[in-house]
A and B are shown apart, each in its own frame.
Chain A
Amino acid sequence: MSALMEVTDVGRSFGGFVALAGISASFERNKVTAVIGPNGAGKSTFFNVLSGVLQPSTGSIRFKGQELKGLKQHRFAHLGIARSYQITNLFPELSVEENVRVAAQALKTRYDVFSHRDRYPELAQKAEAALAEVGLTHRRARRARDLAHGEQRALEIAIALVANPELLLLDEPTAGMGPEETKEMVALIERLAADRTILLVEHKMKMILGLSDRILVLHHGRLIADGTPTAVQADPEVRRVYLGQNDGYA
């Protein structure tokens, strides 16, 4: 079986600044891959390129054999790539249910200006299922902005999930969470990983080591290591980069 996504020699620069340089990697189905690296290593740029927010300056990205370079961002969702954001990024004035339902509808009924939205019961069902999956069913009627932080993070994931994506990009899903909430989020990601391909950016090392099948390490825009958690932990360059930082990641 071929890889779900094939990244070949992808680079991205801003003016003269090279944020990503010649990244190549392929992602197998139903695996969890973590992308780590010190601040400014290019993780966000990498995610933004994979989700269509930014166009790569060089290289190619193939998803299920189709070239993504040059596609508009909204097309990515239609192909089966969904993402969550590092900073909570919801529809704040809409209810929890509306948040998820509108995300479900994005792939389907965008220009129907005339029939009542309740005419699409399958959208409501999808929304309901996504909410149940992240454990937010009991909050369905609340406004997104009134949720607790952990709940907002969960809603963030539900919005990405409702499109039933094959590839799920999670940008620091546990950012700003306490230990309890983090534990719940890890359990959720583990459940999701059973039948989805997940890529995540994270800072919490312990969590990454427990969760990932594979780790990519970025540093100054380059890929300096790519392997299983054990292999990456033992890698001398990775150790140097992180020990030099000495901020307790490792």
Chain B
Amino acid sequence: MTTTDLAAGQGVAPRTLPKAGAALDRWRVPLTIAVLAVLPFVLPSQALAVNVLIYGLFTVGFNLLFGYTGLLSFGHAAFFGTGAYLTGMAIALLGFGWFPAMLTGIVGASLLSVVIGALSIRTRGIYFCMVTLALAQLVYYVALQASGWTGGENGLRGFTVVKADLIGGFSVNLLNPLAKYYFIMFFAALALWFVSRVLNSPFGAAIEAVRENETRARACGFDVERTKLLSFVLSGALCGLAGTLSALHLSIVPLDALGVHTSSIVVMMTMLGGAGSFFGPFVGALVFLLIEDVASLWTTHWQLIVGIVFILFVLFLPKGIWGSLIQIVRRRRAS
């Protein structure tokens, strides 16, 4: 108690963000979009840039649940993959246009997240990650068996969108990589703006309260289960959007989009970048994909390197790159 009293006496700097930090926070959406906009020109390849975009968005959705609500899911491939599959199936089997197909993917992923979320939230604590992993495996095996619709092990093919028609007779040529990049970026930007609104909303405060202290949040009058479920569904919908964009981008959906590996990399990206920070997900996605890109040049076993880097982060840098940067800046101001 004496130490806390001493600290209090000296007047530790309050938790107001430094001016630069406050500005960064305020302009976080335009800033992220600006960085994303130049990405194709600064990264070694445009393919890498598109992946940063799609996986970054996937990670943003995941981070809403893990970083801000405190729920660690190991089954988010289910939503990414469902978004991708439904988009592809809507085009290939039902002849939908690209936009209704996207909506199908997002709505489907959201509905699935209601079911998986409701089931896994019934359990407590550490159970959650096990149940989400198992239920995502269920989805994976269903897709594997329903090969008539999904293509089974070979993945889903045959739904290439060459040109995205917009309103007013305009269209985007998706064969042009740069045009496709900005096409995808438009949706990522919308999603980012939405997430930023959510985080600033009262609900954003509610999920943080649940993360910080579930018992207390419940005593205050929060329906903790429902709050978690809503966060789960928002997260699932965002990951579904990332999946639909991935389907439009690749024109195929590999079965692995639903697999454990896909659930895993989003966890890794979040941890590398910094859970619970706005910029963390894109930083994490960028770093992960860069490691993959560089390491796979000289070894097929790049996953070994990713795994080791990840372990080192958990041990020594659990707040991730961006989270640690924020911490250092704060500490420097405090001293």
Contacts and interface: CB of A to CB of B under 8 A. Distances in A.
A183 interface: no
B222 A113 contact: no
B149 interface: no
Interface stretch (B5-13, B48-56, B109-117, B121-129): B5-13
B204 interface: yes
Given A77-B220, A110-B227, A113-B197, A102 B209 contact: yes
A142 interface: yes
Contacts of A142: 12, 14-15
Contacts of B215: 85, 89
Interface in A46-86: 51, 53, 72-78, 82-83, 85
Interface string A137-160: 000011100111101000000010
Interface in B179-213: 197-198, 200-206, 208-209, 212-213
Contacts of A105: 202, 205-206
A113 B233 CA distance: 12
B1 interface: yes
Interface footprint category on A: 35 or more
A74 B223 contact: yes
B219 A77 contact: yes
Main secondary structure of the interface of B (DSSP, over half): helix
Interface footprint category on B: 35 or more
A73 B200 CA distance: 27
B223 A163 contact: no
Contacts of B227: 110-111
Main secondary structure of the interface of A (DSSP, over half): loop
A163 B216 CA distance: 13
Interface stretch (A22-30, A114-122, A236-244): A114-122
A235 interface: no
A236 B212 CA distance: 46
19 contacts: A74-B218, A74-B219, A77-B220, A83-B219, A89-B215, A94-B208, A95-B14, A102-B209, A106-B220, A109-B202, A111-B203, A111-B230, A113-B201, A113-B203, A117-B202, A146-B4, A147-B4, A148-B8, A149-B4
Interface of A: 51, 53, 72-78, 82-83, 85, 89-95, 98, 101-103, 105-117, 120, 123, 141-143, 146-149, 151, 159, 163, 176
Q: Which 10 A-B pairs have the closest CB atoms?
A: A77-B221, A141-B14, A106-B221, A91-B212, A109-B202, A106-B220, A113-B203, A103-B220, A102-B209, A148-B8
